[in-house]
Structure 1
C-alpha cells in the first residue's frame, strides 16, 4: 500500500468514525433531553412514594438538572428544592464539562460528516452507509449484554472510567438528589440510547439498500 492509498484509507476511516459518532452522540443527547422518560418513571418506579416528594417537585428538580447540563452558561449547581454537598456540586460540574466537550465533538463530527457525504455523493459511493449501519447495530448488542447481565457493575465501571474521584457516590443525607434518580432510571436511559442507535442503524441500512437498487437499476 503506497502513501496515497494509505492516506485515502485514513480519511475514509476518519469520515466513517465521525459519521457514526455523530449518531451515537445524538442518541445520547436525545435521551438526555427526552424528559417524558423520567416523567413516566416517576410512576413506574414509584419515586414519589420512595422519596416522599410530590411529582411537581420531582419534575422541577429534574428539569433544573437537565437545563444545567445542557445550557452554555457556567453557574453553580443549585437545585430548586433539594440541598447539595460540595462534592455533589463538583460531580455535576464534572458531568457538565463532559457534555460540553461532547457537544463540541458532535459539532465537529457533523461538519466532517457533511463534507464526507458530499464527497461520497459526488463519487457515487454509498458503502459508508452500510459500514456505519453495521457498526451501529453491533455496538448496541455489545453494550446490551453486560447491561443485562450486571447493570450495577457496568454502571460502576462507567463512572470509574469517566471520573477520577468517588464524588459520584452520593450520601443520601447530604445529596438527596440520588433518591430521585434511582439506578433503574439510568438503566432505562441506557435502553433508550441503545434503541435509538438501533433505529438509526436500520434507517441507514434501508437508505443504503434503496440507493444500491437505484444505482444498479440504471
Structure 2
C-alpha cells in the first residue's frame, strides 16, 4: 500500500512537472521570437500606427525583449517617431512592463525548477518503475490536451473576456489598461497580437502533447510484445 502511494505521488509530480516545463518553455519560445513580432507588425499595420520605421521598431522590440529577459536595466528607449527622436514608452507603460518583467522572472524560476523535478522523477521511473512509464506519458498528454482544446475554444469565442480575467488575476494594479491612441506599447501589441501569440503557444503545447501520447502508446505496445 505504501509503495503504491509512493508511485501515485511520484506519478502526479512527474505529470505536473512535465506539463509545466513544456508550457513555460512554449511561452518563452513564442514570446522571444522576433520574427513573429515582425510578421504581426506587418499584419496589423503597426508601422503606420506607431509612426516608427520598420528597422527602428525592430530595434525597439529587441530591446524590450532584452529587458524582459533581464538583460537590460530599464525601458527608457529612444527612437525616431515620425521626424523626431523621442522616448518610446511613457511612464505608465514602463511601470506596467516592470510588472511583466517580474512575472517572467518568476516564470523562468518555475520553468527551471519544474525541469529539474521532471528529470529527477523521470530517472526514478526509468530505474524503478519502467513498466508503468507509458501510463504516465498517456496521462501527461490526455488530460492537459483536453483542457487546452477547451481553453482554445473559449478564447476563440471571447478572447477579450479571458484576456481581462488573466490580467486581473496576475496584476494588482490597472497599469495594463493603456490608451491605444497615445501609448505605443499597446499600438505595437494590440489585442489581436495577444490572441495570435496565445494560439501559437497552445499549438506548440498541443503538438508536444500529441508526441508524448504517441510515445506513451508506443511504449504500451512494446510492453505488450515483451509480456506476450
TM-score in terms of structure 1 length: 0.91
Residues 33-76 of structure 1: CA deviation (Å, up to 9, x unaligned): 222111111222221223322111221111111111113x5622
Distance 1:148 1:104 in 2: 30
Contact 1:64 1:80 in 2 (8 A): no
Aligned length: 216
Aligned twin of 2:136: 128
Aligned twin of 1:78: 76
Contact 1:85 1:174 in 2 (8 A): no
Determine which of 143, 147, 152 is the counterpart of 2:155.
Answer: 147
Aligned twin of 1:159: 167
Aligned twin of 2:14: 15
Distance 1:121 1:10 in 2: 16
Distance 2:41 2:176 in 1: 22
Contact 1:88 1:175 in 2 (8 A): yes
Distance 1:8 1:183 in 2: 44
Shift of 1:80: 3.6
Aligned twin of 1:114: 119
> Within 5 A, what are the aligned runs for 1:84-99?
84-99=89-104
Shift of 1:4: 5.9
Two-structure CA RMSD over aligned residues (Å): 1.9
TM-score in terms of structure 2 length: 0.87
Comparing 128-137 with 5-14, which one deviates more in the overlay?
5-14
Distance 2:102 2:93 in 1: 14
Distance 1:33 1:76 in 2: 18
Structure 2 unpaired stretches of 5+:
80-86
Is the counterpart of residue 176 in structure 1 residue 184 in structure 2?
Answer: yes
SS in structure 2 opposite 1:40?
helix
